[in-house]
Chain A
Amino acid sequence: MKNLLKLTIVTLSVLVAFTSCNNQSTNGKSGALTSSAAEKVYVAPGEHDEFYAFVSGGFSGQLAVYGLPSGRLFKVIPVFSQDAEKAYGYNEETKPLLNTSYGFIPWDDAHHPDISQTNGVLDGRYVFINGNNTPRIAKVDLTTFETTEIIEIPNSAGNHSSSYVTDNTEYVVAGTRFAVPVPQQDIAIKEYKGKFKGTLSFIKVDPEDGGMDIKFQLLMPGFDYDKAHPGRGKSDGWFFFTTYNTEEANTLLEVNASQNDKDFIAAINWKKIEAYVNNGGGAMMPTNYAHNVYDEYTHSATSTMKKEVLMVDPSEVPGAVYFLPTPKSPHGCDVDPTGEYIVGSGKLSANVTVHSFTKMLAAIENEKFAGEAYGIPILNFEDVLAGAVEQPGLGPLHTEFDGEGNAYTSFFISSEIVKWKLGTWEVLDRQPSFYSIGHLMIPGGNSQKPFGKYVLGMNKITKDRYLPTGPEVTQSAQLYDISGDKMELLLDFPTVGEPHYAAGIPADLIKPNSKKIFKLEDNNHPYVAKTEADTKVVREGNIVHIYMTTIRSHFAPDNIEGVRVGDKVYFHVTNLEQDYDVPHGVSIIGANTSELLIMPGQTETFVWEPKQVGVWPFYCTDFCSALHQEMQGYIRVSPTNANTPLKWSLGEDID
Chain B
Amino acid sequence: MKKSNIIMFITAILPLGLFLFPLWKITLEAPQYPTPLGIYIHINDFSDVNPHDIKNINLMNHYVGMKYIPDAIPEFKVFPAGIIITTILGLIIAFKGNYKWFLFWFILMIVLSSAGLYDFYIWEHDYGHNLDPKAIMKFTNPDGTQMGFQPPLFGSKDILNFRAHSYPQLGALFLGLGMAGSFIAYLVGKKNLNDVRGKIQKH
Contact = CB atoms under 8 A, between A and B. Distances in A.
Contact of A579 (B56, B63, B136, B137): B56
A551 B63 CA distance: 12
B51 interface: yes
Contact of B52 (A551, A552, A579, A626): A579
Interface in A522-563: 551-552
B59 A551 contact: yes
B55 interface: yes
Contact of B56 (A578, A626, A627): A578
Contacts of B63: 626-627
Interface string B46-65: 00000110011001000100
Contacts, number: 17
B114 to A, nearest CB: 37
A626 B137 CA distance: 10
Given A578-B52, A579-B52, A552 B59 contact: yes
A650 to B, nearest CB: 14
Contact of B55 (A578, A580, A626, A627): A578
Interface in A109-127: none
Interface string A599-628: 000000000000000000000000000110
A578 B55 CA distance: 8
Residue of A551, A580, A626, A627 contacting most chain B CB atoms (<10 Å): A580
A649 B23 CA distance: 42
A577 B56 CA distance: 8
Interface residues of B, number: 9
Contacts of A578: 51-52, 55-56
A652 to B, nearest CB: 13
A577 B51 CA distance: 12
Nearest to B51: A578
Contacts of B136: 627
Nearest to A551: B59
A627 B136 CA distance: 9
Interface string B31-58: 0000100000000000000011001100
Interface in B57-79: 59, 63
A420 B190 CA distance: 87
Nearest to B53: A579
A552 B126 CA distance: 24
Contacts of A626: 63, 137
Contacts of A551: 59
Tell me the interface secondary structure of chain A in the complex.
loop
Contacts of A552: 59
Interface string A511-524: 00000010000000
A579 B55 CA distance: 9
Interface residues of A, number: 9
Nearest to B37: A579
Interface string A573-593: 000011110000000000000
A298 to B, nearest CB: 22
Contacts of A627: 63, 136
A628 to B, nearest CB: 12
Interface string A623-649: 000110000000000000000000000
A629 to B, nearest CB: 12
Contacts of A580: 35
A556 to B, nearest CB: 14
Nearest to B62: A552
A467 to B, nearest CB: 33
Contacts of B55: 578-579
Contacts of B56: 578-579
A472 B184 CA distance: 84
Nearest to B60: A552
Contacts of B35: 580
A552 B51 CA distance: 18
Nearest to A577: B59
A113 B149 CA distance: 52
A552 B32 CA distance: 15
A577 B137 CA distance: 21
A530 to B, nearest CB: 13
Nearest to A627: B136
B188 to A, nearest CB: 51
A551 B62 CA distance: 12
A538 B24 CA distance: 47
B58 to A, nearest CB: 10
Contacts of A517: 52
Interface string A471-487: 00000000000000000
A517 B56 CA distance: 13
A627 B52 CA distance: 21
Interface in B130-174: 136-137
Contacts of A577: 59
Nearest to A552: B59
Which among B52, B55, B56 has the greatest number of chain A C-beta atoms within 10 A? Answer: B52
Interface in B1-53: 35, 51-52
A580 B32 CA distance: 10
Contacts of A579: 52, 55-56, 59
Interface in B94-152: 136-137
A85 B179 CA distance: 61
A412 B52 CA distance: 53
A627 B135 CA distance: 12
Contacts of B59: 551-552, 577, 579
A232 to B, nearest CB: 40
A422 to B, nearest CB: 45
Nearest to B56: A579
A626 B62 CA distance: 12
17 contacts: A517-B52, A551-B59, A552-B59, A577-B59, A578-B51, A578-B52, A578-B55, A578-B56, A579-B52, A579-B55, A579-B56, A579-B59, A580-B35, A626-B63, A626-B137, A627-B63, A627-B136
Task: Give the top 3 A-B pairs by smallest Cβ distance, nearest first.
Answer: A578-B52, A579-B56, A552-B59
Given A578-B56, A579-B59, A627-B136, 14 more contacts: A517-B52, A551-B59, A552-B59, A577-B59, A578-B51, A578-B52, A578-B55, A579-B52, A579-B55, A579-B56, A580-B35, A626-B63, A626-B137, A627-B63
